[in-house]
Amino acid sequence: MIPAPTTTIPGAGTFTLTATTGITTPPELAGPVARFVQALAQDTGLTLTGTTGITVELAPTDDVPPAVGVRADGAPTAGTAPPASAGGAGAEADERYGLEVSADGVRVWGSTAEAVHRGLTSLRQLVSEHLQDGTAVLPAARFVDGPRFAWRGLSLDVVRTFHGPDEVRRIIDMLDLYKLNVLHLHLTDDQGWRVEVPSRPALTEVGATGAIGDRPGGYYTQAELADLVAYAADRYITIVPEIDMPGHTAAVFKAYPELAPADPKTVELGNGDKLHLGTLDPARDETWTFVEDVLDAIIPQFPGSAYVHIGGDETWGMSDEDHAAFVEKASALVRQRGKRVVGWQEIARAKLDPADVVQYWLDLDIDTMADNPDAPTPPEELLPVLVEALRKAKHDAPKALEQGAKLIVSPVTWLYFDRPHADVSADPEQEKARERLGLEFYGAASIEHGVSWDPAALVDPDQIAGVEAAIWCETITNSDDLELLLLPRIPGLAEKAWSHQTPTNWPEYAARLARQSPTWRNRTWTWLQSTEVDWK
Q: Which helix (H) or strand (E) holds 155?
A: strand 151-157
What is the C-alpha to C-alpha distance for residues 142 and 100, in angstroms, rounded to an integer? 4
First-residue to last-residue Cα distance in the chain? 14
User: What is the CB neighbour count within 10 angstroms for residue 173?
Assistant: 18
CB contact set of 361 (below 8 Å; sequence gap of 6+): 313, 344, 345, 410, 411, 412, 416, 470
Contact call for residues 498 and 516 (beta carbons, < 8 A)? no
Catalytic-residue membership of 129: no
The full 3-state SS of 226-281, as one line of letters, equals HHHHHHHHHCCCEEEEEEEECCCCHHHHHHCHHHCCCCCCEEECCCCCEEECCCCC
* Closest to 129 measured CA to CA, from 139, 120, 119: 139
* Closest to 250 measured CA to CA, from 208, 282, 222: 208
Whole-number CA gyration radius for the chain: 23
Can you list the alpha helix ranges (DSSP code H) found in 45-190? 113-130, 165-177
Residues in the chain: 536
Alpha carbon 347 to chain centroid, angstroms: 20
CB contact set of 402 (below 8 Å; sequence gap of 6+): none
* Closest to 250 measured CA to CA, from 275, 270, 221, 213: 275
What is the C-alpha to C-alpha distance for residues 78 and 91, in angstroms, rounded to an integer? 10
Which among 129, 196, 314, 483 is annotated as catalytic? 314
What one-character DSSP code corresponds to residue 75?
Answer: P
CB contact set of 27 (below 8 Å; sequence gap of 6+): none
What is the C-alpha to C-alpha distance for residues 178 and 493, in angstroms, rounded to an integer? 9
What one-character DSSP code corresponds to residue 79?
Answer: T
CA dihedral 385, 453, 446, 410 (to 10 degrees): -40
By annotation, the residues acting in catalysis are 314
